[in-house]
Structure formats: structure tokens, C-alpha cells
Amino acid sequence: MLQSSSSLRWSESSRAQSRERNPSNVFDVMESRIRLSKHSLMWMQAAVTVLVLTLLAGEVGFTLGQDTGTWEVVVENAGIATMHAAVTRFGTVVLLDRTNTGATQIALPGGACRDSNDLVLKHDCTAHSVLFDPNTNTVRPLSIQTDTWCSSGQFMPDGTLMQTGGDFEGIRKVRIFAPCPTTELCDWVESTDLQLQSGRWYATNQLLPDGVQIIVGGRSAFSIEYMPPSAPNGPLYFPFLNSTNDAQNDNLYPFVHLLPDGNLYIFANRDSIVYNYVTNTVVKTFPQIPGEPRNYPSAGSSVMLPLLAANQFSVVEVLVCGGAQYGAFLEPWTNKPASITCERITVTDANPIWVEEVMPIARCMGDMILLPTTDVLIINGASTGSQGWGNAKDPALNPVRYNTYAAPDARFTTMAPTTIPRMYHSTANLLQDGRVLVAGSNSHQFYTFTGDFPTELRLEAFSPPYLSPTFANLKPTITVYPLVITYGSPFTITVSMPSAITTSVQVSLMSAPYSTHSYSQGQRLISLNVGSSVQVAMDSVYQINANAPPSPQVAPPAYYMMFVVNQGVPSTAQWVQVSN
């Protein structure tokens, strides 16, 4: 069924120790470049891969001149310091903090209060979660009953956000947020039927092809489990998490990516595997990543690079950037410089190797956001220290854009800086209009508004260069599109645009991940096969024929933001449901 966006009615569905590296030392920079020359053959192989992928995808480089983006504060005081964030299918953004912080700066509605075993405030009349509306730049308080500190989450196929674990009384809790239009009221509900089988603090959730979430790890939780439960005998021991543990617990918030063959790529500390969760077997082991630990509390970040229909989704690459030197968490007073490297690996190669790239800025606690153009935005974080209360200094104020398919020596562009440090407990999420919402930063155990890095309650939006008015004539507008697309089936999108559309048009499906602690759980971009673009009806109106993802292994059943990208300039996204 096609539905005009002007009269849209949303359809509802039934549901190690690493060596120290000082990037400011010229010898270390030289050493990094020597390492690069040692990998000249790897770079040649990578360059060939990039060229082939670029030609197959029909992409043009996203240059758009020298624009480096812009910043704006969209809310001066959201009431809470955001630790977790997720964008709903109605375009609103759920923001959460922990509950054991004492009072926040936004009251629960109607004089409501929370009475609990809270460690700080037993009788609390303030909210620890809010719903942000990007269209009006307003927030509405939401009610959370148990502590969500360092919890995990993911959207279910019906668009419901399932949020799991946390600390203290919340460590086994399952919470549900069923989003609604902005004209209605919806709120958090703590499940009375579901409970985690193992306490989960710093775990990672990933939606699976069958619509079930797998929950991996957590502090002292070397196991996996499923939600809703599918293993009634208890959580399943996962030796990989035990083997990657160290004195800092650098295997927390493991990076988990669902591969197009249905297996899972799992990275913890400096090691990674391909795991067949159906047979409970490790089917592939990768070389250890060079450099620093990359997971919490060392806090690098990771994305699975775009999945391309142009190569039948047969090439899978993972990018891991930043992190903290080993010991930065245990000895925060040393102010150890953060990692300045990214490492990229082709998971699907027979003999995969890590290929190193040097970032313009050393960074830990950075968030990596896939953009609809297939670029990666590296944003937030610090250049020294690690995660933890007051463990970082030297905020990394400049985002960096990583051009995925450019030549290896031309991938990084330093973007315009913010004036607001975003370090421990900050988030970043892609919005429907192509901006990146940035929130949070609280390197204190409680809300503290003094010192060098006070608790941050402002919400900020970064506009990448493609949103510059200079490129407005290239921006498509989606006018007619399907509300639901079925695996393997063709569909048609109608777009309008001031200037002529070109053969470089792309259609990207973007998941809505759960952002927390420098990692966006469940993040993926699927670049679809696009047929002919035919001018129809009148000037500057086009129909684009595309093919839906072939299987739930490529795109788990869920709501996705669908962008049309013309010459590096994306439309505002429309939400579509991908299902059987």
C-alpha cells in the first residue's frame, strides 16, 4: 500500500594490556605511519575493494565543498543528564538517566512521586527519563521505577523499545516503552511477566532475525540469554567473555553485529569472533586488534559498515575506532593519551586482517554514527583518560567524518567544533532530518554543576554539511512510499526535487539503535538496489524503484528510517516497517 506523506497515518503492527601510545609525540606518529607502510599490500587490497564497491554501488564521493557542519543548542535544559537514548518510529527520542542520582531538574507530571528502595532518594518526585520532540524542541517527563544505570536495550519488531538490566533493584528488570504519536501520552511500563535470568549491568542487546533479542554479557555475567526467554534452563555460559576479561573488565558493552548470514560478530576487549548462536559454536576467530582495549571502560566504538545490495551483501566490514590505554581506568591520575587509531577488518575474508588508519584526533568515549550517505560520524569523547567518574580530560570537541569508500589516505575530515564537552555518559543519535542529536555528559556520581566539566543538561544538534542551504536544490523530498516493505519484494518511492535527479541516487534503510556508553546497539545501514529513476507526472517528480532487503538476516524485522540520497544529499527520512 502506498501512502502520501501529507496524509500519513501510521500503521500499527502486532509486535589485554596494550602498549602506551602518545599521539602528541612525533615519534609515535612516525611509528604509526611506519606501521602503515608495512601494510602496503593490505592497503592495495583495501583500495581495490573500495574501488569495486564504489563502482558497484554507483556512488559519488561525498565532498560538498569545504563545509564542516554547524551546531545548535535545541533545548537549554532537558531536566536530566542523558545516559541512554533511542529514536522512536514517531521521530521522538527517548532519553534516560539512572535513578540513583537524587532529584533531577524536571518534575514528574501531576504531582506523581516514586517510592522505592532507591539508594539516594526514597521518595522522589522528579523524572529520570524524558521524551524529546525534535519538531517542537520540547521534552515531556517519563516515569522510570527502577535503576537503569548502565543498562542495555533495543527496539522490537513492532517498534516497542525493550530496555533491560541496570544496577541495584533494576539489574534483572525488563522495561517497555511503546511509542505513540506526539498527540498522545505514552510512558514506561515495567514488565510483571518478564525478568532477566541473570543480572545484566553493561550488557549489549541485538535484535535477531526471528524478532527475539539476544543479550550478551555484563559485569561478572559471562553468559548470554534471550528476551523474550527462549532458554528456560537459565543463561548460557559464554567462554569468550571470560577469556577477554582483564583487571579493568575491558569486555563490557561488547560490540555485537548481526551478519547477513545470520551469525553474530562479537568483539570484546581486543578479540573478536563469529558466533553461531543457533548451534552455540564459535565458527571463526580473528586476529587480535592492535593497540588499546576498545570496550568499556576503555571506550572505543564500533560500527558495521554499510551492507550493500550491489555486492549481494556478501562483503561485511567492521570499523573500530579509539579507546583508552590499558591502565587509564585503574590509574586515572596518569591522564594517559587516548588511542588515535581506527582499525578496519573485512569479516567475510578468508584470512581477515586489521588495517590501521590514523584519526586526526585521539579519542576515547567517542560515538560512531552511520550517516545516510554511508559516511561515519565520530563524535563526542575525550583525548585523554577513560570512562568513569572524572577519569577523562581534554574533551574532543571536533567531530570527524569518515568517508567509508574514499582512498585510505583521504577518509577523515575534521568537522566544526562544539563548545560543550560531551564525555562520560553522553549519547549521539541520527534524527529523521539527517541531524545528529547529542545529549548528556556527566562525569560525576551525582548531578554536579561546578568544576571543569559540570553535569550537562543541554541537548544539541549537529548538522552535517549535507544540510547546508547551499545544497538545498539537491535535496529530495519523499512524497509517496510504502508503509511496509516485504523481504525480497520490489517497491516504488516517489520523490520531488528542485533539480534533476541523477544515476547516483541511493536508498538507505537506517535502523534506530540504542545509544549508550560510546556504542549504538543494533545500528545498521542497508543500501538497497535501485532501479531506474523515471520522471513522472510533472517536472522534478520522480519514481524510484527499489528492492527490499532479501531476508531478516540482512535486515531484522523492525522499523527503519528510509532515506533517498541524491549526489550525497539525503532526504528527510520516512519510517517504513520491514517484515515478512
| pLDDT tens-digit series, residues 377-428 | 999 999 999 999 999 999 999 999 999 999 999 999 999 999 999 999 999 9
User: pLDDT of 243-270, one tens digit each?
Assistant: 999 999 999 999 999 999 999 999 999 9
Q: Give 218-285 as a DSSP string.
A: -TT--EEEEES---TT-PEE-HHHHHT--TT-TTBS-EEEE-TTS-EEEEETTEEEEEETTTTEEEEE
Assigned C-alpha cell, 21: 601510545
Q: Report the pLDDT averaged over residues 542-546.
A: 91
Q: What CATH number labels 2-15+469-579?
A: 2.60.40.10
CB atoms within 10 A of CB 262: 16
Q: Please name which of 73, 76, 83, 128 lies closest in space to residue 102, comparing C-alpha atoms.
A: 128
pLDDT at residue number 43 = 35
Q: What is the pLDDT of residues 64-75, one digit of tens each?
A: 557 999 999 999
Which pLDDT band holds residue 500 (cuts at 50, 70, 90)? confident
Helices 26-38, 40-57: crossing angle, 10 deg rounding: 70
d(CA 205, CA 144): 20
Query: Residue 231 pLDDT more than 90?
Result: no
Three-state SS annotation for 426-443: EEEEECCCCCEEEEECCC
**What residue has cell string 555518559?**
425
Query: For strand 317-321 and strand 307-308, is the pairing parallel, antiparallel, or unpaired?
Result: unpaired
Q: How confident is the model at residue 233 (pLDDT cuts 50, 70, 90)?
A: low
pLDDT of 6 above 50: no
Neighbours of 403 (CB within 10 A): 18
Check residue 503 and give its pLDDT: 64
For residue 504, what pLDDT is reported?
76
- Cα dihedral sign for 28, 29, 32, 33? negative
More confident residue, 415 or 60: 415
Residue 26: which H helix or E strand, with range?
A: helix 26-38
Q: What is the pLDDT of residue 537?
A: 58
Is it the case that residue 41 has pLDDT exceeding 70? Answer: no
What is the percent of the chain with per-residue pLDDT over 90, rounded to a whole number? 81
Averaged pLDDT for residues 289-317: 96
Each residue's pLDDT tens digit, 331-372: 999 999 999 999 999 999 999 999 999 999 999 999 999 999
Handedness of CA 470, 472, 473, 474 (dihedral sign): positive
The reported pLDDT for the residue numbered 5 is 35
Q: What does DSSP say about strands 514-516 and 519-521: parallel, antiparallel, or unpaired?
A: antiparallel
Least confident of 27-36, 335-344, 447-456: 27-36
Please check the confidence at residue 42 and state whether its pLDDT lies above 60.
no
Give residue limits of the domains in the chain: 2-15+469-579
Number of Cβ within 10 Å of residue 488's Cβ equals 11
pLDDT for 273 beyond 50 = yes
From CA 275, how far away is CA 206, in angstroms rounded? 13
Q: What is the mean pLDDT of residues 124-152?
A: 97
CA 42 to chain centre: 28
Query: For the chain, what is the mean pLDDT?
Result: 88
Q: What is the pLDDT of residue 230?
A: 75
Q: How far apart are alpha carbons 480 and 547 in whole angstroms?
A: 16
User: Is residue 535 scored above 80 in pLDDT?
Assistant: no
- Are 579 and 157 a contacting pair, CB within 8 Å? yes
**Which of the four pLDDT bands, split at 50, 70 and 90, describes residue 529?**
confident
Strand 114-115 relative to strand 70-75: parallel, antiparallel, unpaired? unpaired
Is 240 a residue whose pLDDT tops 50?
yes
The predicted model gives 114-128 an average pLDDT of: 91
Distance, first Cα to last Cα, the chain: 15
| pLDDT tens string 429-448 | 999 999 999 999 999 999 99
Q: Any bridge partners for residue 188, and if so which?
A: 177
When mean pLDDT is compared across 131-135, 472-476, 536-540, the lowest value belongs to 536-540
Could you read off the pLDDT of 203-227 as tens digits, one per residue? 999 999 999 999 999 999 999 999 9
pLDDT at residue 246 in the model: 94
d(CA 276, CA 284): 9
Per-residue confidence (pLDDT) for residue 119, from 0 to 100: 85
